[in-house]
Amino acid sequence: MVEFAVIAPFLFLMLFGVVEMARLVHGFTTVWSGAREGARYATAIGDADGNGTPNYLDCDAIVAAAVAKVAGMDIDAGDISVTYFDLSGTPVADCDVNPPAPAAGGANIDSGFTVEVEASSTFDAVVPVLSSFIDGIDLTSRQTRSIFWGVVGEA
């Protein structure tokens, strides 16, 4: 009994540490999947939601696609950013300040430009002893894909 009383705190600390690390990995994987899904949606051909705006210009739909892929994390539209880059890597538009729709006075997005979707969240540990070590870790993922017109039809 005495041996168990001495070893039990370390055993439980290791057990809860494994659980917290699994939650941390799950959080990062979830953030990564959300950013990847947003970038994938932004480079898909067509108008998936039927509103007349091509996928690569539809900021709301790109953000919605990213948020929809997130499970088990507290991520909303404010945690997703979408930025467009020209062929030289210079930012030409983003969904917050300078939207990409030419009709709205935003930047024109040409074939070959890239779109970067960034998703971020903060990890919240639930085990008090371990929270001093891993609580508040920033989980951020950036996914970049190229926009090509005419691959399956007209943009």
Structural domain tally of the chain?
1
pLDDT in tens, 47-77: 766 777 788 888 889 999 999 888 877 888 8
86, 94 contact by CB (below 8 A) = no
CA end-to-end span of the chain: 72
11 part of a folded domain: yes
- Out of 73-77, 100-104, 122-126, pick the least confident: 100-104
pLDDT at 102: 55
In a domain, 151, yes or no: no
pLDDT at residue 153 in the model:
46
Q: How far is CA 83 from the centre of its chain?
A: 12
- Domain span at 127: 2-146
Q: Is residue 155 part of a domain?
A: no
Question: Looking at per-residue confidence, does 87 or 72 come out higher?
Answer: 87
pLDDT of residue 155: 45
Tokens of 112: 């070959």
Q: Is residue 152 part of a domain?
A: no
Amino acid letter for position 8: A
Is residue 106 within 8 Å of 99, Cβ to Cβ? yes
0.75 cut: is pTM over it?
yes
Helices 59-68 and 2-42: crossing angle, nearest 10°?
Answer: 150
